């Protein structure tokens, strides 16, 4: 187990390092090769030599690229200083960069936005996992029944609709036409748990509709395959109760597949649900990244990209560990 | 400057009547201009509109462009603004977007400020922190202001002339606080190379020699040459007072000041989460008796940022938000929804923003060196298609025939290139001009545009129109972030890329003829190293002379004549091809009071607005 973890952690660090090099190169090296000066992106409307020079000094853009990358990586291990003469700014550890535009460390901005993305990543997966697996399981147990056909039809429709469409339609009717819910304004869980849930209900449903449909179809397909396996027939022949056959023997291999998907999806979601956050105006990590792209705020883009990669890598490790729990044939070695 | 957001605007506020906020509690009265309320304070402001409208106009389409909608002194409630993005900065030295400057008026007072009136009357600079307009002496080169008594920062410290000088000195520290307009630096440095207060060796960090503060109430500006628009420069947030003790605190000042702004206005910042939200509450240190422009009607002002454009529109139209603070107008779908529903249309306005949309035609690019070739482009343009590409008459703007917009003092309507009875172009005249320039079959050049927004559509519309007379073009799209400052703002780049025609938009930083024309038409302001706004590389002695005259004269009629001289010359020589006077279809929540559009900003005068329901 420990060997497995160490090996996976080394792999994870390697992947993250590669991601950081690629993103750094993409956002700092490519513009430089194209003759663009990143300082102009932060100078605002008036670009003058003094302003550009001040920005270069403060952000370290006057150093060679390798040094800039080295300083950036250094921020993962210690705090960094962004100084321009008497104007001094400390970026506390872990420093993922400094947003000149906002005069804030990227870590602070991410920490501020993370609860919103986390809130999305808690409620929506619970919804889509429970609904998707339940519907898929029910359909698989009654193939070609009315319930099976209708639920698969709905699933097909839901999976075909992009989340921004589902979200916009839900909002149009629930908020603006029927006035069942007020428009979305994020309220922290610790501040008011009821309002927190109320405000996130529509984003959860929008996200879950898309994913639940996929999960239902995956669950149904996998279960149908498993139910035809010899060991299921053997279990039934031995006189086991149908519930035991399904829950203990049929669902287990299906669970492996679902957990793989679930882990990856949640990992991806933790990096920011860009469309959902944008449509509902939720200032989470995805929205932070999109806004940063629009504003050419390179340090934020870098920070959010690396964090998103981190969550996916971490989710992979967790999924691998869960394999061993679900499937005894898998050993973490 | 170069786009809708970037214009310095300001708006003052107004209202209507005497608004005795401090003294009066909630009131539902809706008085007229002639019946001021009791408990009046010195904030009483006249209420006639520029176009002769009454102050309290009926809520109908475009009502806020004619007068004050729902004039009221009712207090209480919270204003809820929405925005797609954050302000460029809350630091008064670093803000340049028009709506940001308009919004600054909640918490940044200046020596002069725009009058609290709708229309063109609101574009007049009146005393704010100063007791009167600048007193001019020394042949127009020295301007002196005296400060009012009782003016304070939010911490209760009195505002002195030294605080104003310090605030102006910050504009010199471009290496630390960049982004704002640099008029102060450009006109007050005078060879001193003043580095800004952070590197100032003066013990009080007040080492700028051209500004004197003989006592706490007096501030004297010594200019190198006369400048009759100085009062307007003093309306900008870059001239707002800043407390040195706060700004020189390493934890709060310098680049960090945008998160620690000390208010001098009626509201102060309670909380600010960049790109998320901003909350203003009443500033207890502000004294209504010192302010003839602003008031404290609402208890709280919130700005929710980072919304999707459609989402934002829906919130405002459904009444869940009050106003879109960026004032760039509703999206196409919502424009249709509003214009088709009479009830909703009554809450909408389509004001002139003060921007002119057009193309710069650069004679320094060989194909356009001959004025007749440029005139051929003027005649061949299909202004209806160009207007449609901008969003039509309501959302895009009125068809333009001059560079000066109708909101500019001195504007005169004329059309040197009639483009047919239906404005789709006069192809016969265009061909005549091509023959005169020696290219009867047409020629080829490039059209430069940003890669976002309406630019590509506009470029395509012109391309199609010019094709009709044999002028072929390639459209070159550029990243919007450096389009104005670098791509078309560097003449050598324009020449090397053969960018004969450049999509542009222009509005004045302050609503005077000089404010509008100096950057785009003064031959002495063609900046070779970048940041050039004289995109057409206009070099006309007549124009330079008129601009100089504007800085000397204080006579409004003479200034108007100068505006007309410049505008005629620009059009006669076909340096620019204007096609719309910019408009934006904006929506106001019907619960709002004291809503009007001021020509200073080309948008609602935020600081005047109150609520009728007290919520």
Task: Provide the residue ranges of all domains of chain A, joining segments of one domain with +.
Answer: 2-106, 110-332
Q: What's the pLDDT score for residue B6?
A: 45
Between residues B292 and B1, which one has the greater pLDDT?
Answer: B292
CA distance A203 to A279: 9
Looking up residue B516, the CATH number of its domain turns out to be: 3.10.105.10
Domain assignment present for residue B21? The answer is no
Q: What's the pLDDT score for residue A330?
A: 65
B450 pLDDT above the threshold of 50: yes
Q: What's the pLDDT score for residue B373?
A: 97
pTM: 0.84
Interface test with A, best of B83, B175, B247, B451 (most A CBs within 10 A): B175
Q: Do A281 and B182 touch (CB under 8 A)?
A: no
Q: What is the dihedral of CA B51, B56, B59, B64, to 10 degrees?
A: 40
* Three-state DSSP state, A28: helix
Radius of gyration of the CA atoms of chain B, in A:
24
Q: What is the pLDDT of residues A211-220, one digit of tens each?
A: 998 899 999 9
**What token pair was written down for B480?**
């919007």
Between residues A331 and B355, which one has the greater pLDDT?
Answer: B355
Q: What is the pLDDT of residues B357-366, one digit of tens each?
A: 999 999 999 9
**CB atoms near residue B286 (< 10 Å):** 25
Rounded percentage of chain B residues whose pLDDT exceeds 90: 78
Statement: A110-332 belongs to CATH 1.10.3720.10: yes
Q: Do A44 and B88 touch (CB under 8 A)?
A: yes
Whole-number average pLDDT of chain B: 89
Q: Do A278 and B254 touch (CB under 8 A)?
A: no
Give me the DSSP letters along B158-193. BP-HHHHHHHHHHTT-TTTS-SS--HHHHHH-TT--
Q: What's the pLDDT score for residue B154?
A: 98
Of B6, B254, B312, the CB nearest to A87: B254
Contact (CB, 8 A) for A219 and A255: no
Q: Is B181 on the interface with A (CB under 8 A)?
A: yes
Q: What angle do CA A216, A217, A221 make, to 5 degrees?
A: 120
Of B86, B255, B275, the CB nearest to A87: B255
Contact (CB, 8 A) for A220 and A140: yes
The closest of B49, B60, B181 to B124, measured between CA atoms, is: B49
Q: What's the pLDDT score for residue B20?
A: 30
Q: What angle do CA B513, B518, B519 make, to 5 degrees?
A: 130
For residue B558, what are the contacts with CB-CB under 8 A and spacing of at least 6? B549
Least confident range from B18-27, B432-441, B528-537: namely B18-27
Q: Do B89 and A294 touch (CB under 8 A)?
A: no
Q: How many domains does chain B have?
A: 1
Q: Any idea which residue has 């019946």 for tokens?
A: B35
CA end-to-end span of chain B: 36
| Band of pLDDT at residue A46, cut at 50, 70 and 90 | low
Q: What's the pLDDT score for residue B559?
A: 96
Q: What's the pLDDT score for residue B309?
A: 85
A290 pLDDT above the threshold of 60: yes
Q: Is B318 on the interface with A (CB under 8 A)?
A: yes
Handedness of CA B151, B155, B156, B157 (dihedral sign): negative
Where does B486-551 show beta strands of DSSP type E?
501-506
The domain containing residue B504 runs over which residues? 352-583
Q: What's the pLDDT score for residue A297?
A: 85
CA distance B230 to B236: 11
**CB atoms near residue B326 (< 10 Å):** 24
Q: What's the pLDDT score for residue A86?
A: 79
Residue B233 φ/ψ, nearest 5 degrees: -65, -35
Chain B residues in contact with A46 by the CB 8 A cut-off are 96, 174, 178-182, 485, 531
Q: What's the pLDDT score for residue B55?
A: 64
* Average of per-residue pLDDT across B351-362: 96
Contact (CB, 8 A) for B364 and B374: no
Least confident range from A166-180, A319-333, B47-61, B123-137: namely B47-61
Q: Do B274 and A84 touch (CB under 8 A)?
A: no
Q: What's the pLDDT score for residue A44?
A: 67
Q: How far is CA B606 from the centre of its chain?
A: 14
Q: What is the pLDDT of residues B185-219, one digit of tens each?
A: 999 999 999 999 999 999 999 999 999 999 999 99
Domain assignment present for residue B137? The answer is no
Q: What is the pLDDT of residues B72-90, one digit of tens each?
A: 999 999 999 999 888 989 9
| Band of pLDDT at residue B28, cut at 50, 70 and 90 | very low
* Three-state DSSP state, B604: strand
> What does DSSP say about strands B472-478 and B592-593: parallel, antiparallel, or unpaired?
unpaired
Q: How far is CA B372 from CA B304, B311, B375, B432, B535, in A?
A: 51, 48, 5, 9, 19
Nearest CA in chain A to B533: A46
Of B250, B275, B318, the CB nearest to A283: B275
Q: What's the pLDDT score for residue A186?
A: 87
* Average of per-residue pLDDT across B224-239: 96
**What token pair was written down for B6?**
């970037």
B586 pLDDT above the threshold of 50: yes
Q: How far is CA A177 from the centre of its chain?
A: 31
Least confident range from B40-54, B340-354, B380-394, B401-415: namely B40-54
> What does DSSP say about strands B592-593 and B610-611: parallel, antiparallel, or unpaired?
antiparallel
| Band of pLDDT at residue B400, cut at 50, 70 and 90 | very high
Q: How far is B427 from chain A (nearest CA, A)?
A: 39
* Average of per-residue pLDDT across B48-61: 60
Domain assignment present for residue B508? The answer is yes
Rounded percentage of chain B residues whose pLDDT exceeds 70: 91
Nearest CA in chain B to A182: B320
CA distance B67 to B121: 11
Q: Do B275 and A85 touch (CB under 8 A)?
A: no
Q: What's the pLDDT score for residue B33?
A: 29
Between residues A53 and B468, which one has the greater pLDDT?
Answer: B468
Domain assignment present for residue B416? The answer is yes
Chain B residues in contact with A36 by the CB 8 A cut-off are 482
Chain B residues in contact with A53 by the CB 8 A cut-off are 175
CA distance B544 to B548: 6
Q: Is B320 on the interface with A (CB under 8 A)?
A: yes
* Average of per-residue pLDDT across A63-82: 93
Least confident range from A270-279, B160-169, B259-268: namely A270-279
Q: Do B1 and A45 touch (CB under 8 A)?
A: yes
Q: Do A87 and B176 touch (CB under 8 A)?
A: yes
Domain assignment present for residue B257? The answer is no
Q: What is the pLDDT of residues B380-399, one digit of tens each?
A: 999 999 999 998 998 899 99
A53 pLDDT above the threshold of 80: yes
Q: What is the pLDDT of residues A124-143, one digit of tens each?
A: 999 999 999 999 999 999 88
Q: How far is B50 from chain A (nearest CA, A)?
A: 31
Start-end of H helices in B525-588:
541-552, 556-572
Residue A82 φ/ψ, nearest 5 degrees: -120, 95
Q: How far is CA B260 from the centre of its chain?
A: 25
A319 pLDDT above the threshold of 70: yes
Q: What is the DSSP letter of B316?
A: H
Q: How far is CA B353 from the centre of its chain?
A: 8
């Amino acid at each position: 187990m420990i060997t497995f973890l160490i090996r996976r952690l080394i792999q994870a660090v390697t992947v993250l390092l590669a991601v950081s090099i690629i993103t750094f190169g993409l956002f700092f090296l490519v513009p430089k090769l194209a003759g663009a000066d990143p300082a102009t992106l932060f100078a605002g409307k008036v670009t003058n030599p003094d302003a550009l020079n001040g920005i270069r000094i403060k952000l370290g853009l006057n150093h060679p690229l390798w040094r800039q990358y080295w300083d950036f990586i250094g921020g993962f291990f210690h705090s960094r200083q962004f100084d321009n003469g008497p104007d001094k700014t400390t970026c506390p550890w872990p420093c993922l960069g400094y947003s000149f535009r906002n005069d804030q460390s990227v870590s602070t901005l991410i920490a501020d936005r993370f609860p919103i993305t986390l809130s999305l990543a808690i409620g929506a997966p619970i919804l889509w996992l429970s609904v998707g697996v339940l519907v898929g399981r029910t359909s698989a147990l009654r193939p070609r029944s009315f319930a099976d056909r209708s639920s698969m039809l709905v699933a097909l429709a839901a999976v075909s609709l992009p989340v921004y469409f589902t979200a916009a339609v839900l909002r149009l009717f629930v908020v603006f036409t029927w006035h069942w819910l007020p428009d979305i304004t994020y309220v922290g869980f610790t501040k008011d748990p009821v309002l927190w849930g109320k405000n996130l209900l529509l984003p959860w449903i929008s996200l879950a509709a898309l994913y639940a449909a996929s999960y239902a179809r995956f669950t149904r397909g996998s279960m149908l395959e498993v139910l035809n396996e010899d060991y299921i027939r053997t279990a039934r022949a031995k006189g086991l109760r149908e519930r035991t056959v399904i829950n203990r023997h049929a669902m287990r291999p299906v669970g492996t597949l679902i957990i793989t998907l679930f882990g990856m999806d949640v990992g991806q979601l933790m990096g920011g649900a860009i469309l959902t956050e944008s449509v509902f105006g939720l200032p989470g990590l995805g929205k932070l990244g999109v806004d940063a792209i629009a504003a050419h705020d390179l340090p934020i883009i870098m920070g959010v990209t690396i964090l998103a990669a981190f969550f996916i890598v971490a989710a992979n490790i967790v999924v691998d560990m869960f394999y061993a729990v679900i499937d005894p044939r898998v050993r973490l070695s | 400057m170069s786009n809708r957001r970037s214009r310095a605007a300001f708006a003052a506020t107004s209202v209507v009547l005497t608004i005795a906020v401090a003294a009066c509690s909630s009131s539902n009265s809706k008085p007229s201009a002639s019946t001021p309320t009791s408990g009046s304070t010195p904030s009483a402001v006249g209420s006639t509109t520029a176009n002769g409208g009454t102050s309290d106009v009926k809520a109908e389409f475009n009502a806020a462009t004619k007068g004050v909608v729902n004039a009221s002194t009712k207090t209480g409630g919270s204003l809820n603004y929405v925005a797609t993005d954050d302000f460029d900065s809350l630091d008064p030295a670093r803000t340049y977007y028009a709506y940001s400057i308009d919004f600054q008026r909640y918490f940044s007072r200046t020596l002069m400020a725009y009058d609290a009136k709708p229309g063109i009357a609101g574009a007049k600079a009146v005393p704010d922190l100063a007791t009167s307009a600048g007193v001019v002496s020394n042949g127009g080169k020295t301007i002196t202001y005296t400060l009012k008594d009782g003016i304070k920062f939010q911490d209760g410290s009195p505002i002195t002339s030294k605080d104003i000088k310090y605030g102006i000195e910050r504009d010199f520290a471009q290496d630390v606080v960049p982004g704002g307009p640099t008029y102060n630096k450009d006109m007050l440095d005078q060879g001193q190379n003043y580095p800004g207060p952070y590197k100032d060796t003066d013990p009080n960090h007040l080492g700028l020699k051209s500004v004197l503060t003989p006592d706490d109430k007096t501030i004297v500006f010594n200019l190198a040459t006369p400048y009759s628009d100085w009062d307007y420069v003093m309306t900008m947030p870059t001239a707002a007072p800043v407390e040195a003790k706060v700004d020189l605190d390493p934890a709060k000042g310098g680049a960090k000041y945008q998160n620690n702004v000390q208010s001098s206005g009626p509201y102060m910042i309670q909380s600010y989460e960049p790109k998320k939200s901003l909350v203003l509450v009443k500033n207890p240190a502000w004294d209504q008796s010192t302010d003839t422009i602003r008031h404290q009607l609402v208890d709280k002002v919130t700005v929710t940022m980072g919304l999707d454009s459609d989402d934002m529109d829906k919130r405002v139209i459904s009444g869940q938000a009050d106003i879109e603070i960026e004032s760039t107008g509703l999206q196409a779908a919502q424009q249709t929804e509003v214009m088709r529903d009479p009830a909703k249309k009554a809450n909408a306005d389509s004001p002139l923003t003060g921007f002119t949309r057009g193309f710069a035609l650069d004679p320094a690019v060989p194909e356009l060196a001959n004025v007749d070739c440029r005139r051929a482009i003027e005649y061949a343009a299909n202004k209806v298609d160009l207007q449609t590409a901008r969003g039509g008459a309501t959302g895009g703007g009125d068809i333009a025939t001059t560079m000066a917009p109708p909101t500019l003092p001195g504007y005169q309507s004329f059309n040197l290139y009639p483009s047919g009875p239906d404005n789709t172009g006069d192809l016969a005249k265009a061909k005549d001009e091509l023959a005169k320039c020696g290219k009867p079959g047409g020629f080829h050049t490039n059209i430069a545009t940003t890669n976002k927004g309406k630019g590509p559509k506009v470029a395509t519309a012109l391309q199609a129109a010019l094709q009709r007379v044999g002028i072929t073009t390639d459209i070159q799209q550029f990243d919007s972030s450096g389009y104005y400052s670098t791509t078309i703002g560097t003449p050598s780049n324009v020449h090397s890329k053969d960018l004969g025609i450049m999509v542009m938009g222009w509005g004045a930083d302050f609503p005077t003829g000089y404010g509008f024309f100096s950057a785009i038409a003064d031959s002495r302001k063609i900046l070779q190293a970048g940041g050039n706004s004289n995109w057409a590389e206009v070099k006309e002695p007549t124009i330079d002379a008129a601009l100089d005259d504007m800085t000397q004269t204080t006579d409004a009629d003479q200034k108007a004549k100068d505006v007309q001289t410049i505008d005629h010359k620009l059009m006669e020589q076909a340096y620019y091809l204007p096609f719309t006077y910019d408009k934006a279809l904006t929506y106001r929540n019907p619960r709002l009071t004291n809503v009007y559009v001021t020509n200073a900003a080309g948008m609602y005068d935020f600081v005047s607005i109150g609520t009728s329901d007290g919520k």
